Amino acid sequence: MELSHARFIAEGVVSKLTTFCDRIQIAGSIRRQKPEVRDIEVLAIPKRKIIRDLFDNPAGEVAIPEFCDVVNQWKKVKGDPQEKYTQRELPEGIKLDLFIATKENWGYLLVIRTGSVEFSRSVASRWTKLGYRGVNGMLHKGERAINIYNERDLFNLLQMPWVEPKDRI
């Protein structure tokens, strides 16, 4: 799909979800401004609500139902909006890859999900050389999860110069 058309669809997705998110951004080849786009990738931090056990004790957090309701309007391919990833088919016939982040892994996931595949591999190779590893959507040093709040945090941690998304090839 042509970039301008894909961007228009992606912006529509973001518009429908923004109210129900603490943070949301288009990633992937659209963010890299590639002329041809195969799918739409969006990274979101949905607003959360606390769930409680039978004794009214906090038992965890889940995405608010309104976020899930919007996502569930689109045809499910795989995953669930309460998980880390879901893929949907949009009415326009293009796939949506929706990645669910937290404030602690936002920057890490945005770098990886912006890509390209080759760029993401080079970043992963760099963190491996420095003794880090990716585990369950977080960067770890030993057993300790490292919070990466924005992309620059990851570039700085890895002692890499900033690379604009359009130049990540």
Separation between Cα atoms, residue 111 and residue 119, nearest integer Å: 9
Of 107, 16, 9, which Cα lies nearest the Cα of 66?
16
pLDDT at 22: 98
Per-residue confidence (pLDDT) for residue 53, from 0 to 100 = 84
- Determine if the peptide bond prior to 116 is cis (ω within 30°): yes
Instruction: State the DSSP string of 47-71.
Output: -EEEEE-TTS-EEEEEE-HHHHHHH
| Residues in contact with 40: Cβ distance below 8 Å, sequence separation at least 6, in sequence order | 6, 9, 10, 13, 26, 28, 30, 90, 94, 95, 96, 97
- Per-10-residue mean pLDDT of the chain, 169 residues long, equals 97 98 98 97 95 84 94 97 97 97 98 97 97 95 96 97 96
> Can you give the pTM of this predicted structure?
0.92
- Residue 90: is it exposed, middle or buried by C-beta count within 10 angstroms (0-12/13-18/19+)? middle
Q: List the domain boundaries for the chain.
A: 3-100, 106-167
Instruction: Report the sign of the C-alpha dihedral through residues 111, 113, 119, 123, in that order.
Output: positive
- The pLDDT of residue 28 is 98
Q: Which CATH number fits domain 3-100: 3.30.460.10, 1.10.760.10, 3.50.50.60, 3.40.50.2300?
A: 3.30.460.10
What sign results for the dihedral spanned by CA atoms 107, 12, 75, 22? positive
Which CATH code is given to the segment(s) 106-167? 3.30.210.10
Q: In sequence order, what are the beta bridge partners of 44? A: 24, 100
17: its two tokens: 């979800």
